[in-house]
Amino acid sequence: MKYAVIDISGHQSIVSEGDILSVDLIDTKEKAKLSTDKVLLIATDDNVQVGNPYVKDSLVEYEVIGHKQGKKLHIFQYKAKSRYRRKTGFRPQLTDIKITSISTNKKSSANKTVKVPPSSNKKLKK
């Protein structure tokens, strides 16, 4: 299983190929194909590449599916003993994206590559 940690719209997300995410509004048309090189980590079954801060020569391509409004968020401010109350709210503008591919150049020596032994693939107990 191949996955990556990317920085998109100011937030970090764990993604793999075929995932659909809702991120803050990206000002492009629907069906647009975009890519990002802000990849913090790429992991495959047998190794992990950690960037400093980004993995060099790596690319995550994604496609804009559509734009939508999120659920309404209510904000309530209150100060005790002074009769001050204020209620506001807003609906965030979101963009749905689909991750199409995760690619990397394994020959880059600037990234820290870690070999993962097969026994450490099990979930850790808390």
Among residues 3, 15, 42, 1, the alpha carbon closest in space to that of 97 is found at 15
Token pair of 121 as six digits:
């693939």
Q: Are 6 and 15 in contact (CB under 8 A)?
A: yes
In this predicted structure, what is the pLDDT of residue 40? Answer: 95
Q: What is the pLDDT of residue 67?
A: 96
Task: Return the pLDDT at 113.
Answer: 58
The number of beta carbons lying within 10 Å of the beta carbon of residue 45 is 9
pLDDT in tens, 32-42: 999 999 999 99
The pLDDT score that the predictor gives to residue 89 is 97
Q: By the 8 A CB rule, do 62 and 97 touch?
A: yes
* Tokens, residue 32: 């647009």
Residue spans per domain, the chain: 3-67+95-109
Please name the residue ranges forming H helices in 1-126. none
Count other Cβ atoms within 10 Å, centred on residue 59: 16
CB 39 within 8 A of CB 2: no
What gap in Å lies between CA 126 and CA 117, rounded to an integer?
A: 20
What CA dihedral angle connects 116, 117, 123 and 126, to 10 degrees? Answer: -90
- The pLDDT score that the predictor gives to residue 119 is 55
pLDDT in tens, 66-89: 999 999 999 999 999 999 999 999
